[in-house]
Amino acid sequence: MFTAPRPVPASDFFVGQSCVSHQLIDDALVRGYADLTGDHNKIHVDDAFAKNTKFGRRIAHGGILFGMISKMLGEQMPGLGTVYLSQLVNFHAPVFIDDTVTLVATITALLPKHVAKITTIITKQTGEIVADGVSTVKLPGWLTPA
């Protein structure tokens, strides 16, 4: 039987703590996201249409990048028990099919009541920043008595 890990106490987190994850943005991921959300905008799923746009090819949904952030916050850092309070994301460049993106999340502030500010920067394999922002979360320690 699988036993989920226990939430990490809020006192174990520190400013400057960071986590990194990588994701290949392939055709299956983009089409799966389109099916999940119902967002079948041709710029994401139609090669012929996308070829005639300023991008020249299909681009990934921005929501896929949101999903990467959510996954990291909920499963890696801070991890089990984390609750999203808000997310600011700025998109700077398109992510194309078969790009590999890297997410770096860094705790930049620890606030009262188990709240943390976490900066998020997403780059693609070229090093170009495609998105950045700030997540505000309730750290896992709020779930358990002090």
CATH of range 13-141; options 3.40.190.10, 3.40.50.1370, 2.160.10.10, 3.10.129.10: 3.10.129.10
Cβ-contact 95, 33 below 8 angstroms: no
Enter the tokens of residue 41: 């905008």
Give the pLDDT of residue 141: 73
| HSE value, Cβ hemisphere, 13 Å, CA-based, for 118 | 34
Per-residue pLDDT of 19-65, as tens digits, reads 999 999 999 999 999 999 999 999 999 999 999 999 999 999 999 99
Please identify which residue in the block is written with the tokens 């990467």. Answer: 68
| HSE value, Cβ hemisphere, 13 Å, CA-based, for 24 | 4
Judged against a pLDDT cut of 90, whether residue 7 lies above it is answered with no
Give the pLDDT of residue 9: 80
Residue from 11, 15, 5, 14 nearest 141 by CA: 11
pTM for the model stands at 0.90
Query: Domain residue spans in the chain?
Result: 13-141
- Name beta bridge partners: 106: 18, 119
Whether residue 145 is preceded by a cis peptide bond, meaning omega within 30 degrees of 0, is no
